[in-house]
Structure 1
């Protein structure tokens, strides 16, 4: 029986550990927190998982919350009308909702990671509650056939060198601020089904709103992404959750009044329901070398960390876990050597590269043909639907998004249909 160590108990680390466990591998999982500490702690992320990523969970029968979590059937885009931001835009230049072919869902990672961790232990997995340092991995690497590093923050990430060719940004491109709330009113347009809302405020940033399942049931996530140094970049140093929420709402009233109108009665889900921070989007070398010469393989955010502007983090983590699981199973009893590690990462990069390209494009000011595309989606439902479904399969953007000629040809074909 092959012995595998997974360091980090997030979406990818846990999905991979549980998947390997179900195939008879002897798996040890290292987490710096217990399930109870995760469940009662601060929110860790925003997450909206689309159909392909959800299917990876279903395939492993880990979709424990599928019947409880809101079914997200649409994805809407609004663009604030240009004009004075003092007092700010009062209307939208663009507003539409595309329908998803397969529904998306969001489960608070405190709920999911705590539940999955308990399941892993109940199924006989070895759970080690300990923050791992490089020295620990040096020791462990001698007793395991493979060490996977899925802890996206802290000292371990420094083992994986930045890949400058795949990392165009050296600095964070957005300041992030998240609030989980109860009491958000329904969307005035199509309130009969749940949708994610993407509100773009040119030159300022973005507000995303997504229905979720949290520790206290159904809720909504209010998520600001502010251009650094701009009017949304005001959460740094705000420690009080109530102050964080009131700042969130103040900015909604100023920059997205159509969303603020349904947020006048909201309250935080819990004292841990806020999060703020920033990080530079980075692709890293997937192989880490230990002082003793042993090798470890980086997983998900450790090796490909994109800005959350395209909502791909948990989707990419799920897809990475699925790709790595397939590569490990195919390897059977052969050694997990450096060449295998590189091929395993390349298999994941085949999908991740599309996410990175699209995300980095969305962080830049949109060129004219993209504004035309987003505008046309308001008149042409097939365009809105295709744009929405590309969140599930970002590779599709290659055919209609990046090059003005392809965008124009696509819009002409839909308009003429």
Structure 2
């Protein structure tokens, strides 16, 4: 039986560990926190999993919260006008529903499942020196811990990382008590509120440790008015600032948030990071090799909601590559090919995310505006969150956008 070590217990690392376990591999998982510490700790992310990623979880029988989490049926876009009214407002419907489960709930639950299914869990913050030893005792060592010392083993791929500094300041609050969006009170949707030149507010329903909740998530242009959370340690102050900014820039969302309260004492998060693609093979001091997984190798800005989806797709792709490789050695050539296979899919998400961090060109503004009058355009844009590859056909190039809008307008006439 081949022995695998995975360092890091996030979406990608845990999904891959459980997938390998289901295929009969002997898997050791290293985490710097216990399941209880994760469950009672600070929120880690905003995560909205779209259909393809959810199906990867279903295929591994890991969709434990599907009946409890809100069914997210669509995605809406609002664009603020200079007077803080809405210049654009629409919602598109998903072909397959999306869901968000607080990673404290999911990662703790998956970690306990891994142990129940016979996996070896080691609670230890691994250093490079540890991996030097382990690389000689395991057939394959993979690193899915996207922060800390271990990431430094994986060099930045400048050709795929156009930004060398954070493009948004991020601020998250999980709340109870948010009212429904009056435009569609009968179904849940992620709402993307764009404030040109300032940033974005995302509002999404989720399942957290205390049940149904909503996430209020500001992405602010660094140095701008939304870049207002540095140094804020008190959760209640964080929420108050979140609401002040909503009242100022997105009053239509603030109107349903006047009675919200934080879900728990650890329900806020703030920070920033540069979106980065890294080289997938890390070389240890003793000559051993390790393979980067998930956001170790592809860390997207969350503006397009691709982080947890890319992590899930990475785990799915790597699992296939490992199983197909059989008993052969996991050498550097195989590691690079394994990442390249994943990159062939995830490059579309990276391209889109990096484009959305820049000021939108005129044809994209026209597309977003047209979606308010043309429901098929709204639906197609919404479903691109599940399949970013489709954007190549209608989003990036003015000629393709104009041709697509003309085609839909003609069909609607």
Q: Quote the Cα distance in structure 2 between the aligned partners of 1:393 and 1:322.
A: 15
Instruction: Name the counterpart of 2:7.
Output: 7
Per the alignment, residue 306 of structure 1 pairs with 300
The alignment partner of 1:66 has SS state of coil
Match of 2:17 in 1: 17
Where in structure 2 are the equivalents of 1:229-308 lying within 5 Å? Answer: 229-308=223-302
Aligned residue pair count: 411
1:159 and 2:159 are equivalent in the alignment: no
Say which SS state the counterpart of residue 76 (structure 2) adopts.
strand
| Partner residue in 2 for 1:340 | 334
Picking from 116, 119, 123, the partner of 1:129 is: 123
2:212 corresponds in structure 1 to: 218
Give the deviation of 1:133 after TM superposition.
0.5
Deviation at 1:351, TM superposition (A): 1.1
Instruction: Tell me by how many angstroms 1:132 deviates.
Output: 0.6
The runs of 5 or more residues in structure 1 that have no matched partner are 84-88
- Hey, what does 1:349 align to over in structure 2? 343
TM-superposed deviation, 1:378:
0.2
CA distance in 1, matches of 2:19, 2:278: 25
Q: Does 1:381 align with 2:375?
A: yes
CA separation in 2, counterparts of 1:234 and 1:385? Answer: 34
Structure 2 CA distance for aligned equivalents of residues 101 and 28 of structure 1:
37
Residue 326 of structure 1: aligned partner: 320
- Supply the RMSD in Å over aligned alpha carbons: 0.4
Counterpart CA distance in 1 for 2:144 and 2:203 is 27
Structure 1: distance between partners of 2:248 and 2:4: 51
In 2: Cα distance, 1:386 partner to 1:300 partner? 27
**Residue 87 (structure 2) pairs with residue 93 (structure 1):** yes
- Cα shift at 1:216: 0.0
SS of aligned partner of 2:170: strand
Matches within 5 A, 1:170-209: 170-209=164-203
Q: What CA distance in whole angstroms lies between the structure 2 residues aligned with 1:144 and 1:378?
A: 55
Whether 2:84 is the aligned partner of 1:107: answer no
Do structure 1's residue 43 and structure 2's residue 43 form an aligned pair?
yes
Matched residue SS, 1:180: strand
Alignment match, 2:162: 168
Kindly state the Cα deviation for residue 82 of structure 1 after the two structures are TM-superposed.
Answer: 2.6
Deviations 1:126-171, CA, capped at 9 Å, x for gaps = 0000001100000111000000100000000000000010000000
Counterpart Cα distance in 1 of 2:304 and 2:345 = 15
* TM-score for the superposition, normalised by structure 1: 0.98
Report the 3-state secondary structure (helix = DSSP H, G, I; strand = E; otherwise coil) of the residue aligned with 1:19: helix
Q: Which residue of 2 aligns with 1:86?
A: none
Distance 1:31 1:254 in 2: 41
Runs of at least 5 residues in structure 2 that lack an aligned partner in the other structure:
none
CA distance in 1, matches of 2:344, 2:235: 40
The alpha-carbon deviation at position 352 of structure 1 amounts to 1.0
